[in-house]
Structure 1
Amino acid sequence: MEFHPFIEKSSTQEIKAFQEEKLQQLLAYLEGNSPFYQRMFKEKKINVGELRTLEDLQKIPVTTKNDLQQHNHDFFCIPPDKIVDYSTTSGTLGDPVTFGLSDGDLERLAYNEAISFACAGIQKGDVVQMITTIDKRFMAGLAYFLGLRKMGASVVRMGPGIPELQWDSIFRYKPKYLITVPSFLLKMIDYAEKHGLDYKNSSVYGAVCIGESIKNQDFTDNILSQKIKEKWDIKLFSTYASTEMSTAFTECEFQIGGHHHPELIITEILDDEGNIVKEGESGELTITTLGVEAIPLLRFKTGDIVKAHYEACQCGRNTMRLGPVIGRKQQMIKYKGTTLYPPAMNDILNDFNNILCYQIVIQANEIGLDEIIIKLSTDQEHESFVNEVRDHFRAKLRVSPKIEIIDFDILSKTVFNPNSRKPITFIDLR
C-alpha cells in the first residue's frame, strides 16, 4: 500500500485535471442520490453536465452549517442499512449534526489518516499512543485508529486525561508518537516533574497535535509550542481536520503547513462576498469532498479562516498547504474598533505560567457592543497579576478586557467538561 500518493507529487496542472475528473463524478453522484443537492440543482437551474472545471464551481451556491442543521436527513445519499457508523460534529455552535459513514467511507477515512500520518513521518511498526477519545460518536478518534491500523502501526488506545496512566503506558509500551491536544502535554510534563519521572529520556520522539494551534502564521512555534519544547525536546506536528470534510491537513517534516490531499477534497478560500481570495490573503475554507458515499458535500463553508501556501515543499509534494487556522468566522470579535479571534487571546494567556486555567467569555453589552471577559485561576497575588495580564493584552492586541479571578475548583469544572472533547476555553454568549 502506497502512503505517499503519486498525485501529490504530480504537477499542479495534473492535479487540477485529476480533480476536475473527480468533480464530474461527484456532481453526477449528487444528482442521482442527494435529496438536498437534487433540490438545489433544480431550483437554481444548474445543469451539472455543463460543469467541467474547478472554476465552474463558482456557478454553484455554497452549502452552510445551517443547511446541514436544518436539512440533515436530506444530505444522506445511501439508505440506513448501508451505514456502519454514526458520528456527530462536536456542535461548538448550535446543534450537532449527524454524519453516517458507509463501509467505503470508513475505508476512505482510514486511507486519509494513513497518508496524513505518513506525512508526519509515522511508519509501519511504530508504536503510537492515542490520548484522545474513540467513543462518544467522535469521528477523529476512530479515524486515527483506522489509519494507524491501515499503515501497520501499533496503537495504544489510552483515551484523554489522567497523566499518571499516560506515563505508565509510555514506560510500558514505549510509543514513538503521541496523538493529543497539545495543552495536555504541559499537564503531563507537570505531573512528571512533580513525581520525579525521567520523561526527557522516554521513548517519545514526537506528538501529532489536534484541536489547538501550535504555530504562528509564519510557521514559527507559538507560545504553547515553545512552552512544551522548553521542557521536553520532542517534535510537534500540526494537523487540522473536521468531521464534515473527513480529510486531514497534516504537516510533513518541514513543518510549513498541512498538506492537501487532492484525491480526497477540493478546496476554495473565499472572501465575504464569496469570491476566491488573492494568493497570500486569508479567507473562509470552503470544501468539496471527493469519494464520500453517505454524506458528500459540495462547496461547504467550514467557518474556518485560513491562508493557503502554494510554493513547492522540500518534501516533494506539490500540493497546496494550509497555515494554522486564524479563527472561526462566527467567533470573530469586534472590540473597540479591533477585529480579534480567540486564538490570538489564547496565545497571550498561554504565555503566563501562573494561570492554572482560563476561559474567554464574549457577550454583548447593553448597547450591543462585544464585551470580553477573561475568567482565570491563578496562585498569584490577585491585583498585581490582573494588571500584568491586562498590560500584556494592551501591548499585544491593543485591547483591555475585563478580568475575573475564579477559584480553580470552580472554573476547571467548566473548562474541562467531561462531555467535551477538548478544553472549553471560549464561550460566546452573543
Structure 2
Amino acid sequence: MQESDQKTQWQKIQQQLSYTFRTSKFYQDVLQQNSIQVDNIISYEEFSKLPITTKEQLQQYNEDFISIPQQDIIDHVTTSGTLGEPVSFYLNEYDLERLAENESRSFKLAGITKHDKVLITTTLDRRFMAGMAYFLGLRKLGAGAIRTGGGLPGLQWESIFRFKPKYIIAVPSFLLKLIQYAEENQIDYRNSSIQSAICIGEPLRTSNFELNSLGQRISSLWDIELFSTYASTEMATAFTECNQHQGNHVQEDLIYTEILDQDGKHVADGEIGELVVTPLNVQSMPLIRFATGDILTYTDTPCNCGRKGRRLGPVIGRKQQKIKLKGTSLYPQHIIEILNRFNELENFIIEVSLNEIGGDQLKILIPESFREIESLKEHLKAFLNVLPEISFEDSKTLQQLKFPASSRKPKIFYDLR
C-alpha cells in the first residue's frame, strides 16, 4: 500500500475506533476491563494490541454490539450459522448504502458494467445479507438484475433464454446442477448468453490460484469465466477476483485486514494465518479486530491488473474445524478437494465426530450405488495419508444433507464434535 493510501486508511481506522468506543456497549466494556485509553491508540502498533473479538463474544453479547437506536434499524439479517447458532445482524440506511458501494465495486472488478444483465440465483429472503447486497450492488452500478433465487434449474434456464444475461451469480456446485439439468433436458447450455459466473459460498481455487477440482469440473463442461469471491455477514464486505484471477482484492478503504498466527503475530506474505478484520464506515454493528476463524494466505504485491493493495488467497479451512486423524492434521476443504478430484464420485458428505476416547473420527458418506470403493480408498490414502471410515447412504438422504431446507448454501461438512 502506498504511503498516502496507508495514511488515508489509518484515518478511517481512527474514525471507526472513535465511533465504536463512543456508541457500542460491548466495546466500552472492553476498554474498561482492559484499562485501555483510546487516546493512546495512535498507530498500527497500538491498534494491534487491542483485544481480538471472537465469534463466541458476538453470539453471547449480541445486543451489546448494536451502536444505533433500534428505530434506525431497517434490515435484520443473520449469519449462516456454519459454526453454531446464527447470529443476528442489523443494518441502517447508511450500512445498506455501504453494502451497495462494496458490491458495485466488486462487480466492476469482475467486468460487469451498466450495460450488462446478471442472473442472481441466490436467495434474497431467509435473512440472507448477500442476496440483498448483490441486488443493491447491481442497482447502484445500473446493471440489469434478474432475481430468480435459489434452486429451480428449469426456471433458471428459462430466464437465461428469455432475458439473455451475460453473468450469473451462483454457488459453484449449483452450476453443476444447472449443467446436469440442461443435459438431461436437451438444453443447449454451451450456446447460451452466459459468459461468466460470479461464484459464491464455495472455494473455487487452490492456494496458488489455479482452479481446484470443482472449478476444473465446471470449466471442462461449460466454457465460461469463473470469478471467485469471499465474504461473510460479519465482515459486511466482499473480496472479489479481477480478470487476472490471482487472489481476491481487498477494498482497503472499507475494511482493514490482518492475517495472524497462533500467537497473534502478523504472518509474512504467502504464509498461512487466520483472517482478522475491522470493517470501516460501519454504523449499526461495528466490529474491531474480529477473528473470522478462516485460515488463508495473502499477498501485498501489485496485481497484474495494475491495482495495488492486498489480495487474499482462498480459504484453506476454518480454525475451529481442524481435524486431527491418526496424527495427521486436516481441514474439511482439503478433504473436499481430494474427493472432488475423484470424478467417479458425484456426491458425498463428510462427518467428523468424537470416538470413545475423545479423538476425532472421520466418516465419508457416499451413494449406495457407488461401485469404485477400492479405487476410492486408494485415492484417499494417497492424498490424505490416512483412510477415513466410508459409509453408504441412499442418494435422496445425501441430497437432503447437502441441501438442507434451512440452509442458504450447500452443506458438505458436518462437525458433530
SS at match of 2:379: helix
Structure 1 gap segments, 5+ residues each: 1-10
Shift of 1:424: 1.4
Q: Would you say 1:49 and 2:39 are equivalent positions?
A: yes
Which residue of the partner structure matches residue 365 of structure 1?
355
Which residue of the partner structure matches residue 423 of structure 1?
410
CA distance in 2, matches of 1:406, 1:31: 52
Q: Would you say 1:215 and 2:205 are equivalent positions?
A: yes
Which residue of the partner structure matches residue 133 of structure 1?
123
CA distance in 1, matches of 2:3, 2:165: 40
SS at match of 2:74: strand
Q: Superposition pairs for residues 107-256 of structure 1, below 5 Å?
A: 107-256=97-246
CA distance in 2, matches of 1:349, 1:269: 28
CA distance in 1, matches of 2:128, 2:29: 30
Which residue of the partner structure matches residue 327 of structure 1?
317
CA distance in 2, matches of 1:406, 1:354: 16
Which residue of the partner structure matches residue 252 of structure 2?
262
Which residue of the partner structure matches residue 26 of structure 1?
16
Q: Would you say 1:283 and 2:273 are equivalent positions?
A: yes
SS at match of 2:174: helix
Within the candidate set 307, 310, 315, 2:297 is matched to 307
19-28 vs 108-117, which moves further: 19-28
2:375 aligned partner, one-letter code:
E
Q: Deviations over 1:204-238 (max 9, x none)?
A: 01000001011011011111111111111000000
406-415 vs 152-161, which moves further: 406-415
Shift of 1:165: 1.2
Shift of 1:23: 1.2
Which residue of the partner structure matches residue 380 of structure 2?
393
Q: Deviations over 1:379-425 (max 9, x none)?
A: 333xxx22211111111121101101111012212221111011111
CA distance in 2, matches of 1:180, 1:405: 29
Q: Would you say 1:355 and 2:336 are equivalent positions?
A: no
CA distance in 1, matches of 2:45, 2:340: 42
Q: Deviations over 1:66-99 (max 9, x none)?
A: 1101100100000110001001001112221111
CA distance in 1, matches of 2:206, 2:190: 26
Q: Deviations over 1:178-214 (max 9, x none)?
A: 0000011111111111211111111001000001011
Shift of 1:368: 1.4
SS at match of 1:357: coil
Q: Deviations over 1:259-309 (max 9, x none)?
A: 000111001111111111122211100001110000010000000001011
SS at match of 1:122: coil
Q: Superposition pairs for residues 64-79 of structure 1, below 5 Å?
A: 64-79=54-69
1:119 aligned partner, one-letter code:
L
Is residue 279–residue 287 contact of structure 2 (8 Å, CA) maintained in 1? yes
Shift of 1:378: 5.3
CA distance in 1, matches of 2:178, 2:369: 19
1:263 aligned partner, one-letter code:
D
1:171 aligned partner, one-letter code:
F
Q: Deviations over 1:350-385 (max 9, x none)?
A: 22343342110001111111111000115333xxx2
How does the TM-score come out when normalised to structure 1?
A: 0.95
CA distance in 1, matches of 2:391, 2:344: 15
Which residue of the partner structure matches residue 395 of structure 2?
408
CA distance in 1, matches of 2:14, 2:112: 34
CA distance in 2, matches of 1:189, 1:279: 38
CA distance in 2, matches of 1:410, 1:28: 51
Is residue 254–residue 315 contact of structure 1 (8 Å, CA) maintained in 2? yes
114-123 vs 408-417, which moves further: 408-417
SS at match of 1:379: coil
Q: Would you say 1:344 and 2:331 are equivalent positions?
A: no
Structure 2 gap segments, 5+ residues each: none
- The percent of aligned pairs where both chains have the same amino acid is 51
Is residue 362–residue 371 contact of structure 1 (8 Å, CA) maintained in 2? yes
SS at match of 1:59: coil
CA distance in 2, matches of 1:65, 1:140: 19
Within the candidate set 47, 50, 53, 1:63 is matched to 53
Shift of 1:27: 1.4
CA distance in 1, matches of 2:125, 2:392: 34
Alignment RMSD (CA, Å): 1.1
2:189 aligned partner, one-letter code:
Y
Which residue of the partner structure matches residue 284 of structure 2?
294
CA distance in 1, matches of 2:281, 2:387: 48
Q: Give the aligned length.
A: 417
CA distance in 2, matches of 1:184, 1:352: 19
Is residue 133–residue 160 contact of structure 1 (8 Å, CA) maintained in 2? yes
Is residue 178–residue 204 contact of structure 1 (8 Å, CA) maintained in 2? yes
1:389 aligned partner, one-letter code:
L
Is residue 356–residue 378 contact of structure 1 (8 Å, CA) maintained in 2? no
Is residue 126–residue 408 contact of structure 2 (8 Å, CA) maintained in 1? no
2:175 aligned partner, one-letter code:
L
Is residue 83–residue 100 contact of structure 1 (8 Å, CA) maintained in 2? yes
1:291 aligned partner, one-letter code:
N
